[in-house]
Amino acid sequence: MDSDDNASTLFLPDEAATLALGAALAQALVRESAQGLIIFLEGDLGAGKTTLVRGLLRALGYAGTVKSPTYTLVELYAVSGLNLYHFDFYRFDQAEEFLDAGLDEYFQGAGNCLVEWPEKAGVYLPPADLHLRLSVAADGRRAGLRYGSEKGRQCLTNWISCIVSIPGATPSSSPPPR
């Protein structure tokens, strides 16, 4: 794992490693008894954002179907004492759609928000505590992790301690994507 003051980069060789990265995040959230954490999941279509969420939910004991909320905008998962809201703003044409749908209310409580395509909600979306950028690399994925708040720093520290056991994952030689 390459890292600097607030960012780390990891190479993920396959889908199993992406699922394991999500499982490591689940461990960090449980350790923290995380509440009100906002996590931006950034990356192109097919980069693995929903796969990561699936790994997180499976590690928390959720056995149901995990799909991207592209059409529903949000999926709620109440599992392992955590309320997780999985958002996907890919279909937004204008940032104001975030407010029109009343989604801002989800970000004011104790629920943890996992947000795909956060840039589509623009200035209406609160700042992230954690940023995860997934990008397609030659033979897998590159995951760039960085924090945006003190709460995010604490969670990232715990997350990194859980990541060390991901099979096949290696530190990336390039800087974390921004």
* pLDDT tens sequence across 105-114: 999 888 999 9
- Model pLDDT, residue 176: 41
Question: Which amino acid appears at position 94 of this protein?
Answer: Q
Please write the tens of the pLDDT for every residue from 15-58: 999 999 999 999 888 887 778 899 999 999 989 999 999 999 99
User: What is the rounded CA–CA span in Å between residue 146 and residue 134?
Assistant: 12
- Model pLDDT, residue 158: 85
CATH superfamily of 2-164: P-loop containing nucleotide triphosphate hydrolases (3.40.50.300)
Of 80, 81, 66, which is closest to residue 114 (Cα–Cα)? 66
Residues sharing a CB contact under 8 Å with residue 129, sequence separation 6 or more, in sequence order: 37, 38, 39, 147, 148, 149, 151, 152, 155
User: What is the rounded CA–CA span in Å between residue 90 and residue 58?
Assistant: 24
Question: Which amino acid appears at position 161 of this protein?
Answer: S
Burial letters 154-175, b for 16+ CB under 10 A, else e: bbbebbbebbeebeebeebeee
Domain-wise residue ranges, the chain? 2-164
For residue 170, the cross-strand partners are: 11
Residues sharing a CB contact under 8 Å with residue 102, sequence separation 6 or more, in sequence order: none
For residue 134, the cross-strand partners are: 143
Helix, strand or coil for residue 134? Answer: strand
Residues 89-105 have a mean pLDDT of: 94
